[in-house]
Chain A
């Protein structure tokens, strides 16, 4: 459990944030320079806020009024940086075990072998860092932080310095990690894809202040969060469970609070939890139930809100049981007469739905 309430003057603006975060993955999202890294550095003890208080698991690590400031090595945090920062003179194995001797009370004790397994590091153990690829180095950095028995894991855009292929390579490892470790994680990113795949809680930052905080699905469906919505790949995150599989057409039906979605086949037993992401631009709206149309997913709903218009497009939030975002042209909205309260059908192409596997802890 982390409680953060800090202020610090950061050049162009003042950082002033206050939030609590529990188990699971908490994502800090915002554009570059919004203050995300500063917050994480403050939690880690690498930056001293001007004022405030930080409490980790009931231990006060920083308090400006009582002048408490625990140095980084005594806070029990693991930190995965953007740059791997591996120790060049130590083998992968010795990098991984560097933090094992951290003095600590009842901190979780992940086993060396399980972490090596989880991150696929077994063939790399005796190598020196300079002989690893970027993706491999980052995996070692993650393993190293996890194995140092932290009470909290901080990750500052750990995939930012990797190319798309590497990122795609590591993301599954991260997913497994977040799922298997009972470790609170604070994950900084400006990549919405990572957040939607990994995070449970989303905190949105804009110029040093928290503009939204809450569960990922709820936050991603909001129309008013400029940093989120301005993206070309803005979309909604849904959680659901597998209802049935269609072996003939290789499809899976997923049940969620808004009904059912048919998606390309996903492995897993019936009842397994899933996380889905639907990009707003893959959602269409019809004012009458269409026939003779290829889209398999037609969900009835009511328009709850219209977003601000931005040049050609405008976002529409439709409530199908849970909110879903659709990105339409202003012309369509105008010609169809779409307005809050209107009953419509939401059309989502099966092939456009992104699926991540998110079994509960």
Chain B
């Protein structure tokens, strides 16, 4: 039965060849980016591709979900998180190269409402957020248990002394864009998202901004995924941190952190 065995070996070799990526010459870069920063990354990536011809694919989801996937071996080259906590988790496991982790962007937390009901509401200590929700309205935000935007929102609301009032009137969304959608659809009278998210929707208006001292600094960190490091992905990472990328990020409303 040597013919059969030779046939089987050939099939096996073909499968292995297809599945394993040749190391070194890799022309595609896969970026896992937090939902709120993904559009900006995509815009930067377009410029990068135009200049270098290297294709960049951006996969967006909640930071927590992306981190889980990277832990389980997702083939991402670069990880951009919306909260340092998840970066530390990955660093502890050696999934990302902590020595090359860099703070990339900053953001601001804002309070939004549907256009039709946009009365200004200043997030000051003890502000009337519960009253603004009405008898049965809910506050839409990323899930405070694990979505970074939700974590920051909970910190801010606690710092302002109103967390206990609204804790049972939340609509915890799977990611911050879903929270934005709830407000945009008029389903929730108020929501807490990043300023950069609010800018993306015509259907919502910013009614107030949370002072930076009410929560941990919002920091988007970028780091290469150890297992999948490549020349192309290193090049893109450098590009993201370079002055060439600043105008794009600032156009979206982010605070560009790297100092050159």
Q: Do A and B share a direct contact in the complex (Cβ within 8 angstroms)?
A: no
A residues in contact (CB < 8 Å) with B: none
B residues in contact (CB < 8 Å) with A: none
